[in-house]
Amino acid sequence: MKFNVQTMLKARDAWRTFRSNHPNVLPFLNDVLQHGIKEDVRVEILVHYPDGTDLKSGIRVRQSDLAFFEALQEIL
């Protein structure tokens, strides 16, 4: 995979804008990660569309998923 500086700069700027637009997201994620993601924790995502459509998905964390959540915690 080729490293693209322009793409990284765009991503950095988009990340800054996202953080500015949604200041409560990072503190929420940090609180969740400090509380701990453990086996059998349920994570749900719910999306409400303007037309009234709702999409929902969820996972129950398995032991094999914990490495992903540990990596996410390092990123945040």
pLDDT of 63 strictly over 80: yes
pLDDT of residue 10: 92
8-state DSSP, 23? T
The band of 4, judged by pLDDT with boundaries at 50, 70 and 90, is confident
Q: Per-residue pLDDT tens for 6-56?
A: 999 999 999 999 999 999 998 998 898 889 889 999 999 999 999 999 999
Q: Is 71 a residue whose pLDDT tops 80?
A: yes
Write down the pLDDT at residue 76. Answer: 62
Domain extents in the chain: 1-35, 38-76
CA distances from 56 to 5, 23, 46 (A): 35, 23, 4
Question: How far apart (Å, rounded) are the C-alpha atoms in residues 72 and 14?
Answer: 18
Q: What is the pLDDT of residue 75?
A: 76
